[in-house]
Amino acid sequence: MRLITKTFTILSLLFISFGYLNAQSIIAEKSFDVSAGESLYVEASGSDVKVSAWDKNSVEVKVKGSKKTASKVKVDIDRIEDGVKVTVKKKRSGFFDWFGGAGGSLVEVKVPSDFKLEIETSGGDIALYSIKGEKRLETSGGDIKLSNTKGALTAETSGGDIVIDNHYGDVSASTSGGDITVKSIKGNVDVSTSGGDIRVRSNDGYVNAETSGGDIMVDLDGKYKGINASTSGGDIIINLPSDIDADVLLETWGGDIDCDYPNAKEMSVKRGKYEARFNNGGVKLYASTSGGDIVVKER
């Protein structure tokens, strides 16, 4: 319940944040004709970035902010050989201006759905909608949100949450200080956080989930391709279909193990360690926690 509540809170805050910035005035804007499969590059110091797909063979870029923000930032929007590049930096007028970014601005871009993206912002949020191309996203202090996306994804934030909703493709995502929520995904998932919870609902693909200080929940609704889940300070809950073939090893050094799976052939059951074969056995399922409980059950 705590994980679900956090997820709705994260989504609400993200939508409120972007709604506020959308009400601000346009600092700079440009449009370019493009070809399918090109790339968008964004380097935005302290700005939020929102990218959505449309059905035109063009890219539209709008940079928004207050009048105060407009006087303090330098914006470059350029057509380059393989796509479009957007740069938002704070103007340097004195020694102390070298510290801080272009806070309070929003980079809003519309691209063809198959565009590839490379986005980097030092202190803002990143939101993507209906993008099908490969994506590399990085923010030092913000949240990352994706909805209805396809293609390989690499996402990294040092201080925020990551929410991925309805994705087709492999995912590699990490955060040093937030939660990770992956909902309705077809593809391999590799996620890690140093200080938050992880929740993954997988339809098809391998799941690797690691956290140093939170809980892990994995809900599999589809073909089983392996699960590795580990946490140093939380609980692990794994929900599975009744027909998976897996060799299972569950370990905890400070809690209990509860395996309520109907087609389990138990091989070894000890305090803090459980080994079994689900159905015919096969791809490994491993879960470990240093200080919490492990629950595995049929969904």
Adjacent-strand bridge partners of 107 = 49, 63
What is d(CA 279, CA 242) in angstroms, rounded to the nearest whole number?
A: 9
pLDDT surpasses 60 at 23: no
Three-class DSSP category at 24: coil
pLDDT of residue 9: 53
Q: Residue 220 above 60 pLDDT? A: yes
Residue 16 confidence (pLDDT): 47
HSE-CB of 5 using CA atoms within 13 angstroms: 2
Query: According to the model, what pLDDT value does residue 104 have?
Result: 79
What is the model's pLDDT at position 12? 52
Strand partners, 239: 219, 297
Q: What is the pLDDT of residue 213?
A: 85
Question: For position 234, what pLDDT does the model report?
Answer: 95
- 3-state secondary structure (DSSP) of residue 105: coil
- Mean pLDDT score of the chain: 90
Q: How far apart are CA 208 and CA 182, in angstroms?
A: 12
Q: Which among 174, 167, 186 is positioned nearest to 210, based on CA atoms?
A: 174
The tokens describing 66, both together, are: 């207050």
For the chain, the structural domain boundaries read 1-125, 152-299
Residue 140 clears pLDDT 70, i.e. is over it: yes
pLDDT in tens, 244-294: 999 999 999 989 999 999 999 999 998 899 999 999 999 999 999 998 999
Q: How far is CA 243 from the centre of its chain?
A: 29
Q: What is the pLDDT of residue 159?
A: 84
Q: What are the phi and psi torsion angles at 146 (to 5°)?
A: -130, 145
